[in-house]
């Protein structure tokens, strides 16, 4: 048995296309970790065969570690045409339960795909679900191009179940154009409930950061004048939100502060 395994490993290293064909004809059950470890090289040798291998019934299992794919492996899958990426994504989605949201393992693949291709990949992976009632997670929304993301948010905000959830409604508004987001989220920063104020500050900062416009971000910071009298845990929450904003967004606000506070 050990000799056979050693021969298989040598075939995987030196004759990867043959190794893929052997796996297709002989493998029973899930693709083993030793094959997953060679995924990048095998895709280069026979992408069609590897996709058939991964998308067979019961082929994808659970593997140790936080990531089931390395970054380079995800990049190799993402470099395939949309048809293949969708097929792999659907197989993983089914292995992860196939519910109406996209699992973390599928997100690893979508994250590696160029932003312009992501909407079609998401649509393909979710095909068979009812798109009009799907509630996408923030992890999925974060990966979509801005225009598609806002379309999805507006669709979800029309759903009765979403409208009944005040926190979810607020979180979704944070993905809309900033003037709309501020009208919804601004009042939360002066709410009586401290948790609501924390949520309001967090979402306002995240929304301003998503604009990619340092001027808009600077204006948002200028309007957080209540922070000086806030509780420590609210200010800590704000600092955490600011830590997620790209550093380039702070350049304009820093320059304007210098103009406003000479000396």
pLDDT of amino acid 63: 65
| CA–CA separation, 35 and 92 (whole Å) | 16
| CA–CA separation, 108 and 178 (whole Å) | 28
CA-based nearest residue to 106, from 132, 135, 81, 126: 126
Q: What percent of the chain has pLDDT over 70?
A: 87
Residue 253 has pLDDT above 90, yes or no: no
Q: Quote the tokens at residue 209.
A: 């950061």
- The angle, 0 to 180 degrees and rounded to 10, between the axes of the packed helices 214-222 and 194-210 is 160
pLDDT confidence tier of residue 50, bands split at 50, 70 and 90: very high
Q: What angle do CA 213, 215, 218 make, to 5 degrees?
A: 110
Q: What is the pLDDT of residues 173-191, one digit of tens each?
A: 999 999 999 999 999 999 9
Contacts of 85-89 with C-beta under 8 Å, sequence gap 24+, read 85/109, 85/113, 85/117, 85/121, 85/124, 86/120, 86/121, 86/124, 86/125, 87/51, 87/55, 88/51, 88/54, 88/55, 89/121, 89/124, 89/125
Cβ contact 96:103 at 8 Å: yes
Q: Quote the tokens at residue 7.
A: 């021969």
Residue 256 has pLDDT above 50, yes or no: no
Full-prediction pTM beyond 0.85?
Answer: no
pLDDT confidence tier of residue 64, bands split at 50, 70 and 90: low
Place of tokens 């998401």: 122
Cβ contact 226:238 at 8 Å: no
Q: What is the pLDDT of residues 226-246, one digit of tens each?
A: 788 889 899 999 999 999 998
Cβ contact 198:237 at 8 Å: yes
| CA–CA separation, 139 and 190 (whole Å) | 28
Q: What angle do CA 162, 107, 213 make, to 5 degrees?
A: 70
Q: Which residues are bridge partners to 127 per DSSP?
A: 129
Q: What is the pLDDT of residues 92-143, one digit of tens each?
A: 998 888 766 788 899 999 999 999 999 999 999 988 778 788 889 999 999 9
| CA–CA separation, 12 and 34 (whole Å) | 10
3-state secondary structure of 31: coil
């Amino acid at each position: 048995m050990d000799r056979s395994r050693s021969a298989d490993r040598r075939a995987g290293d030196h004759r990867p296309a043959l190794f893929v064909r052997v796996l297709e004809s002989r493998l029973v059950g899930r693709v083993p970790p030793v094959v997953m470890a060679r995924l990048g090289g095998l895709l280069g040798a026979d992408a069609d065969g590897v996709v058939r291998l991964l998308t067979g019934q019961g082929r994808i299992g659970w593997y140790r570690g936080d990531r089931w794919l390395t970054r380079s492996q995800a990049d190799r899958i993402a470099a395939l045409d949309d048809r293949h990426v969708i097929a792999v994504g659907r197989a993983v989605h089914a292995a992860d339960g196939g519910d109406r949201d996209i699992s973390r393992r599928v997100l690893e693949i979508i994250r590696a795909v160029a932003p312009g291709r992501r909407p079609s990949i998401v649509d393909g992976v979710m095909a068979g679900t009812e798109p009009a009632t799907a509630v996408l997670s923030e992890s999925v929304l974060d990966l979509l191009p801005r225009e598609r993301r806002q379309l999805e948010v507006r669709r979800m905000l029309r759903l009765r179940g979403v409208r009944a959830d005040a926190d979810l409604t607020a979180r979704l508004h944070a993905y809309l154009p900033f003037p709309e987001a501020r009208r919804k989220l601004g009042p939360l920063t002066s709410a009586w409930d401290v948790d609501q104020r924390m949520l309001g500050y967090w979402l306002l900062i995240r929304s301003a950061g998503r604009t990619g416009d340092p001027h808009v971000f600077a204006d948002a910071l200028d309007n957080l004048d209540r922070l000086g009298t806030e509780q420590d845990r609210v200010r800590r929450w704000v600092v955490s939100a600011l830590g997620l904003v790209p550093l380039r967004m702070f350049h304009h606000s820093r320059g304007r502060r210098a103009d406003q506070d000479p000396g």
